[in-house]
Amino acid sequence: MHDGVPDSVSPKAELAPRWLEEITDPKTASWVAQHNESTRQLLGSPSLNTLVSEIRDLLDNPDRMPVVTDHHGMLYNLWTDAAHPRGLWRRTTWESYVQGAPGRSDRTPPATQWE
């Protein structure tokens, strides 16, 4: 383990031992305490906090390209950001969407008009 991130992840999930079902067994309590501590160390890791912050910044960036779905000639998007953490359903036309395309050479495209 390095910086709270495992070196390898097993592709097969292993079933928990049957003795873990005995919630009053001291062996179970010890196992839980050990795993709780390793989880606390991971969650308190500065590298994890940095990663969470970087991911949040990317997801809340208003300049990211929206992922859209075409439905009966309209483009739909579920937009999430800091102001709309649960999401905001939006729709627009193809013509409006491509006007705001980031790959345009004029570098000053009009903004996409969302409804």
Return the residue matching tokens 């969407």.
97
pLDDT at residue 44 in the model? 86
pLDDT at residue 112 in the model? 73
pLDDT in tens, 15-45: 888 899 999 999 999 999 999 999 998 888 8
Asked if 101 contacts 109 with a C-beta cutoff of 8 angstroms, the reply is yes
Listed in sequence order, the residues at least 6 apart from 110 whose beta carbon sits closer than 8 Å to its beta carbon are 99, 100
Q: SS3 breakdown of the chain: % helix, strand, coil, rounded to 5? A: 35, 15, 50
Same domain, 86 and 104: yes
User: For residue 20, is it within any domain?
Assistant: no
Q: State yes or no: pLDDT of 107 exceeds 60.
A: no
pLDDT in tens, 54-74: 998 888 887 777 788 999 999
Could you give the 3-state DSSP secondary structure of residue 89? strand
Same domain, 88 and 115: yes
User: For residue 9, is it within any domain?
Assistant: no
**Percentage of the chain with pLDDT > 70?**
79
Q: Are strands 74-79 and 69-71 parallel, antiparallel or unpaired?
A: antiparallel
Mean pLDDT of 4-21: 72
Domain that holds residue 44: 26-59
Same domain, 85 and 44: no
